[in-house]
Amino acid sequence: MAGPRVRLVVTADDFGYCPRRDEGIVEAFLAGAVTSVSLLVNGAAAESAADLARRHKIPTGLHANLSEGRPVGPARLGDSSLLSPEGFFLGKMGFREAVATGGVALPQVREELEAQLIRFRELLGGDPTHVDGHQHVHVLPGGGHCSLEGGCGWTDAFVGLSTCGRHMSVHRVSGALARALEGIPTGHTLTAELMAHPGYPSVPPAGGCGKGPDAFSCSWERLHELRVLTAPTLRAQLAQDGVQLCALHDLDSKRPGEATLKTFLERSRP
């Protein structure tokens, strides 16, 4: 029997942001529609989310956060290039602008990420299955590339930017995976990750990372993603496309890591 064309990890971001988001994420996991989650350790519901992850044996990674809410490391004491005068991270665009102008002290980035890893270990009792960035901070010029002792897993391809929120549909998910397969020889199995943000919308003031939930989390689009991901039509289309859902630990995707969480902060290449 021929193997799958794609082995797909479906990762739900923002686990721990608020109980309503978490409820939807767990619902999607139990339905077999989500296979991995990324935890915000400074999220308002981080502790209860960690309990859910342990109870349901959900593969959980660290959703490294340098842009929303309050820090968990030394920066929380103040006088940090990562924070506004009010003691919060600079926001999605504010952090990008600070990085672009050289206003971010890179050792402080490392301190915060290491503190978030320590907090993750306290909450879950072990290392994350993966590390990614809240609001994509990890892909910024000068952003951090993280690795863990024993290796941090990743896939051949990443999809999800074209299927986020209202743009998520069976057709778009199928199309994004088809594009990822372009150039892949017949008989080769591609490993891919689909980024998703499902859940029941946040209702203020509950949720967030220290300032309450943002418009993204309160949007109806979170419920839209949940419904698309759990719809039988998506599962049927993926099966027709030769896509097999799996968790990251099911893949042969580990790479040698460093002895601790390490951030490699470098200039972007032209």
**What residue ranges do the domains of the chain occupy?**
6-263
Q: Report the alpha-carbon distance of residue 184 to residue 52 in Å, rounded.
A: 37
- Answer whether residue 81 shows pLDDT above 80: yes
Q: In sequence order, which residues have a C-beta less than 8 Å from that of residue 27 and are 6 or more positions away?
A: 226, 230
Type of residue numbered 216: F
Superfamily of domain 6-263: Glycoside hydrolase/deacetylase (3.20.20.370)
Predicted local confidence at residue 58, as pLDDT: 98
Tokens of 115: 């503190």
- Residue 264 has a CB neighbour count (10 Å cut-off) of 11
Secondary structure letter of residue 259 according to DSSP: S
Q: Report the alpha-carbon distance of residue 236 to residue 74 in Å, rounded.
A: 48
pLDDT digits (tens, 9 = 90+) for 228-253: 999 999 999 999 999 999 998 888 75
The 3-class secondary structure across 175-219, one letter per residue, is HHHHHHHCCCCCCCCEEEEEEECCCCCCCCCCCCCCCCCCHHHHC
Tokens of 169: 């549909």
The angle subtended at Cα 137 by Cα 133 and Cα 143, nearest 5°, is 110
Active site residues: 13
Cα Rg of the chain (Å, integer):
18
- Answer whether residue 65 shows pLDDT above 50: yes
- Answer whether residue 80 shows pLDDT above 60: yes
- Answer whether residue 75 shows pLDDT above 90: no
Q: 154 pLDDT band (50/70/90 cuts)?
A: confident
Q: Which of 88, 86, 48 is nearest to 65 (CA)?
A: 88
